[in-house]
Amino acid sequence: MARISLQCRECKKDYESTFKYICDDCFGPLDVKYDFPPVSKDTFTNREKTYWRYFELLPIEQKSNIVSIDAGMTPLTKADKLGEKLGLKNLYIKNDSVNPTFSFKDRPAGIAVSKAKEFGLSAVGCASTGNLASATAAHAAKGGFPCHIFAPSDIEMAKITQALSYGANYIAVDGTYDDANRIAAQIGDSKGIGIVNINMRSYYVEGSKTLAYEVAEQLDWQVPDQLIVPVGSGAMLNAICKGFEELQSVSLLGDVSNMHMIAAQPHGCAPIVDAFKKNSSEVIPVEYPDTVAKSLAIGDPGDGRYVLKRLQQYNGFAEESNNKEILDAILLLAKTEGIFTEPAGGVSVAVLQKMVEQGKIDANDKVICYVTGNGLKATEAIMEVLQKPTVMKADVGEISAVVN
Ligand SMILES: *Cc1c(COP(=O)(O)O)cnc(C)c1O
Ligand SMILES: [Zn+2]
């Protein structure tokens, strides 16, 4: 058997690893299945400080096909000051805001673009809520691919500027993310473009599972108790679960079944939270998302159903936070830990706070709060809760009066 193959998540039919993402029989999504070589903790020590250190557990066959901008191995910060404020003794922030393009999307995009190279595709692209645009465009630039971005027109200017700078063909769609996604899917299939989060999705999601690998290694191979994950499409939450399960299967971790997964969504686009609270297994799409957390504004989450299953499997919860709570949480994290995140990270911190208040997290639990994007990407929104400094005359006397 080849090192990797594909398997339908629904009917479990097996496929060879090719440029394919949907099951012929039942239209279920295909996941990468591995025949892992023996690995130990020592396998990874002293390797490069990027997620490519886990090469044996990733779906690229030849190292020469790796397209890397050195993403990953981001800090796992022991957040004692924020923890003290919230009443938690073992709180950690996985700070993915400091990846090369300033969001966790460098993980899935890097794997998908590398796989596009392995498949010999001639162009790549993505449907994006903002951050994936830059992650895909940067990897495409490094790998020498043309890159086509399909994104709703109302995303933050910093994210558009960044993606354009990497040289992408940026298509601003007058519509929602779901509109952009539908168009990207059709054009990707008709032109044979590797759309990283659509027709390359089976490989794409494999990048996000390194968010589990790194946390486990950074905790010296201990299993965390509680994980708070911001959710848009739900691909990341699902991939984090897969990552921990794989570490258990190769005996790098003990039993992971007692972890608790917590899905965090913004009010105004929280279809998974709504389904969870109604105890329903059906996610009803939000037609017009309305939230400051634009990177989570996916009304019809592709992996929504699977997130609900994961929450059930891992005794989890789903909770939402509104714009004010999100922006307050951004400032709380910045002022306690010196970490500046965009609204998606604010959603994680705000929901963490609610979980503690609701008694769903114990003071001694080992808690991982995933902070997935950088505050510099959304300064317009954050500035709304800050006071713009007044310009003062360059006069020591006058300025001295306001320095107390
Ligand atoms: C895309 C994104 C998410 C959500 O990831 P999904 O896999 O779509 O659930 C969370 N945070 C940030 C900063 C993102 O860009
Ligand atoms: Zn199937």
Residue among 93, 104, 377 whose CB has most ligand 1 atoms within 8 A, to mutate: 104
Pocket of ligand 1 contains residue 131 by CB under 6 Å: yes
Which percentage of the chain shows pLDDT scores above 90? 99
Q: Specify the domain boundaries for CATH 3.40.50.1100 within the chain.
A: 76-102+208-383, 105-206
Q: What is the DSSP annotation of 269-321?
A: S-HHHHHHHTT-S-PPPPSS---S-GGG--SS-TTHHHHHHHHHHTT-EEEEE
> How far is ligand 2, taken at its centre, from the CA of residue 79, in Å?
43
Q: Ligand 1 atom closest to Cα of 234? A: 9
339-364 confidence digits (pLDDT tens): 999 999 999 999 999 999 999 999 99
- Buried b / exposed e along 104-126 (16+ C-beta atoms within 10 A): bbbbbbbbbbbbbbbeebebbbb
Q: What is the DSSP annotation of 116-151?
A: HHHHT-S-EEEE-SSHHHHHHHHHHHHHT--EEEEE
120-130 confidence digits (pLDDT tens): 999 999 999 99
154-169 confidence digits (pLDDT tens): 999 999 999 999 999 9
pLDDT at residue 239 is higher than 70: yes
| Ligand nearest to the CA of residue 108, numbered in listed order | 1
Taking ligand 2, which is a single-atom ion, which protein residues have CB atoms under 5 Å away?
A: 8, 10-11, 13, 23, 25-26, 28
Please state, rounded to an integer, the average pLDDT across all residues of the chain. 97
Q: Is 343 left (phi over 0), alpha (psi -120 to 50) or beta?
A: alpha
Q: Ligand 1 atom closest to Cα of 231? A: 9
DSSP 163: H
| Ligand nearest to the CA of residue 231, numbered in listed order | 1
pLDDT at residue 390 is higher than 70: yes
Q: Lowest mean pLDDT of 2-6, 237-241, 293-297, 398-402, name the range.
A: 2-6
> How far is ligand 1, taken at its centre, from the CA of residue 393, in Å?
43
Pocket of ligand 1 contains residue 234 by CB under 6 Å: yes
| Ligand nearest to the CA of residue 209, numbered in listed order | 1
277-287 confidence digits (pLDDT tens): 999 999 999 99
> How far is ligand 1, taken at its centre, from the CA of residue 231, in Å?
6
Pocket of ligand 1 contains residue 230 by CB under 6 Å: yes
Rounded Cα–Cα distance for residues 91 and 67 (Å): 33
Positive or negative, the CA dihedral 168, 171, 177, 183 is negative
pTM of structure: 0.97
**In CATH, which of 3.40.50.2000, 3.40.50.1470, 2.40.30.110, 3.40.50.1100 is domain 105-206?**
3.40.50.1100
pLDDT value of position 113 = 98
Give the CATH architecture of domain 76-102+208-383. Answer: 3-Layer(aba) Sandwich (3.40)
Mean pLDDT throughout 133-140? Answer: 98
pLDDT value of position 1 = 46
Pocket of ligand 1 contains residue 59 by CB under 6 Å: no
167-181 confidence digits (pLDDT tens): 999 999 999 999 999
143-157 confidence digits (pLDDT tens): 999 999 999 999 999
Q: Whose CA is nearest to atom 1 of ligand 1?
A: 295
Query: Which pLDDT band, with edges at 50, 70 and 90, does 69 fall under?
Result: very high
pLDDT at residue 319 is higher than 80: yes
Rounded-to-5 percentages of helix, strand, coil across the chain? 40, 15, 40
Q: Whose CA is nearest to atom 13 of ligand 1?
A: 373
> How far is ligand 2, taken at its centre, from the CA of residue 246, in Å?
22
pLDDT value of position 2 = 62
Q: Ligand 1 atom closest to Cα of 208? A: 7
Q: Is 338 left (phi over 0), alpha (psi -120 to 50) or beta?
A: left
